[in-house]
Chain A
Amino acid sequence: MSGSNNQKPKSDISTMSSAEYQAIAKKHEPPRAVFKNCIRAFLVGGLICLIGQCIQRFFMTVFDMSTKEASNPTVAVLIIISVILTSFGVYDKIAQWAGAGSAVPVTGFANSMCSAALEHRAEGLVLGVGASMFKLAGSVIVFGTVAAFIIGIIYAVLGIGGR
């Protein structure tokens, strides 16, 4: 600690401007291990999608569904798994290791809602659970819906039929 201050004997925390502090803090911030994080995200994200594929295949073979019909129950099962893991605190441990790998799949969406619900449980069912559930997931729904609306309007104006 003291060794790094040898160059600037006068840089006392109390006299430092916030810009100076930012510059020094940035220099000592550990570099983000981008490559390692990407590998982890790839492995965990891929694994979650692989599990999803297995569940989808299960619904297709056992209940004789088409790919489209099977996708809804698949998402529902993944969400149940995610909620259970979040309740036991396991999903957050996975998320710490995997970063975006566990956040980007639909399980991460469920995790953000479930953890917000659990976290604000103490504030009551209406003001806590009800009001806070979409605290993190809300922006995803809002921007997705607005984007879908704009694209729908563009299609309608251009007179291209849907699919």
Chain B
Amino acid sequence: MQFLWAFIIGGLICVIGQIMMDVIKLTPAHTMSTLVVAGAIADGFGLYEPLVKFAGAGASVPITSFGNSLVHGALTELERDGWIGVVTGIFEVTSAGISSAIIFSFLAALLVRPKG
């Protein structure tokens, strides 16, 4: 059942992005930034975690979950270490995504002959 919800929720988040690009006529960069901030705010109100529980990858794969993870790391370390945790914790959860994107993009640039 979660597979169906992953498809539907993930698809709907992408439709929101498409509407922002087509109807409000934002550039892709503005759209992505807005979605990340929206995900961060949603987690600030404690709304994103229930969505992840419900839709699984449908909520954790779109870029909104990036904002969610940033806030999540900050809040977790805030509780554990106090004030400084806000700064030290931000990239705690997202490290996997950012690091692997950097590493594999770099390797691809080394290996692949640029076209054109």
Which residues on A are within 8 Å of B, measured CB to CB?
32, 34, 37-38, 40-50, 52-56, 67, 71-76, 78-80, 83-84, 86-87, 89, 99-101, 103-110, 113-114, 116-119, 121-122, 125, 129, 133, 136-137, 139-145, 147-149, 151-156, 161-163
Dominant secondary structure of chain A at its interface with chain B: helix
- Chain B interface residue count, CB cutoff 8 Å, equals 81
In the assembled complex, B47 has its CB within 8 A of some CB on chain A: no
Task: Determine the chain B residues whose CB is within 8 A of the CB of A156 once the complex forms.
Answer: 78, 83, 86
The answer to whether B66 touches A34 (Cβ under 8 A) is: no
Name A134's closest neighbour in chain B (CB-CB).
B102
Task: Report the tally of A-B residue pairs with Cβ distances under 8 A.
Answer: 272
Contact check, A154 vs B13: say whether CB atoms are below 8 A apart.
no
Residues of B at the A interface (CB closer than 8 Å) are 2-3, 6-15, 17-23, 28-29, 31-33, 35-37, 39-41, 43-44, 46, 49, 55-58, 60-67, 70-80, 83, 85-87, 89-91, 96-98, 100-102, 104-112, 114-115
Contact A80 B104, beta carbon cutoff 8 Å: yes
